[in-house]
Amino acid sequence: MRFRLLPPVRRLAAAAAACVFAVGGLAGPGSLPRAQAQPAECPATVIIAARGSGEPQAATMAFPVGGATTNGWEGGMIQRTLEHFDLTDTTVIGLDADDYEAATVWLGSGSEVYESSVNGARNAIGRALDFERRTGCRPSYIVMGYSQGAAVMHMAEIPLSWSGRLVGAIYMGDPFLTPGDPALIGAPSGGRGMVYYGGNGLTSTQLRAAPIVADYCLPRDPVCDWPGNVDAANDNYGNHIIYFRPRPHGLTPSEQEVVNRANAMLNLGRQRKADGANNTSPTPVQWSWIAGR
């Protein structure tokens, strides 16, 4: 993830607020199509993931627990986090460069970040829609985002919940983090997103729809532990770029809590599949309006 200069926060907040209304301004589900039986090979859960600003595609790999595969478009930070989850019966969909630019943040980049984020959020919904149309499956969903990708997936969270199948949300380095968010892991200060701007809907709590949430903020990460860490923002963003960094002694307590909550989400998805709970939850018609397809 690369930042060139600390952006003007108020301008970026205004641009991001516009993203929220552009993506989530539609009403919730109304008249929905009738559900049908799902194919037997459908995954229990699909994770839709968005990488951080300027983050490139990571390696193609199979994850060690559960055997899920990835083409790397979730980015390296999320990929090394996913390696600790039980991904049995799970599909990982990373938003690729056509879905989401992951624009680099720099002085004056508000309009570029706006376009990148709103397109990413719309295409996250589009990827869920395409998956269900192509496979006939109606899985549970987990949204996952790092940095700018957290903003993207926050904006997709409520529309995805209209399916009745959203089981969780995972954020790291969240620029929308509400101070004292009950889902917060880490940051003993209580955190505060760099573009948190109470009153305009641009907060992690106001955009929330998932039943289980992990919002992980490392202490002194200026993107989610703002405003006391401006110096870190001007010095390669400090702790913002070391989430789930490999350590010889294993996971930290905060990292383990993220893993525990993530596995609770994944277990809920597997239980819903076993119970047939998703069989009566059709694809929301509003997804096609948002995605434009």
pLDDT in tens, 209-246: 999 999 999 998 989 998 755 554 455 467 899 999 99
pLDDT in tens, 96-143: 999 999 988 644 445 677 789 999 999 999 999 999 999 999 999 999
Percent of the chain with pLDDT over 70: 81
Q: Tokens for 223?
A: 């993107």
Is there a contact between 152 and 113 (Cβ–Cβ < 8 Å)?
no
Q: Give pTM, 2 decimals.
A: 0.89
Is there a contact between 164 and 137 (Cβ–Cβ < 8 Å)?
no
Query: Could you tell me the domains of the chain?
Result: 9-22+43-273 (3.40.50.1820)
DSSP letters for 9-46: HHHHHHHHHHHHHHHH-S----S-PPP-PPPTT--SEE
Strand partners, 61: 70
Secondary structure string (H, E, C) spanning 131-198: HHHHHCCCCEEEEEEECHHHHHHHHHHHHHHCCCCEEEEEEECCCCCCCCCCCEEECCCCCECCCCEC
β strands within 51-152, DSSP E:
61-62, 69-70, 90-94, 140-146
Look at residue 143 in the predicted model and tell me its pLDDT: 99
Q: Which helix (H) or strand (E) holds 123?
A: helix 110-135
Q: Please state the rounded mean pLDDT for residues 9-24.
A: 51
Nearest to 76 by CA among 250, 245, 223: 245
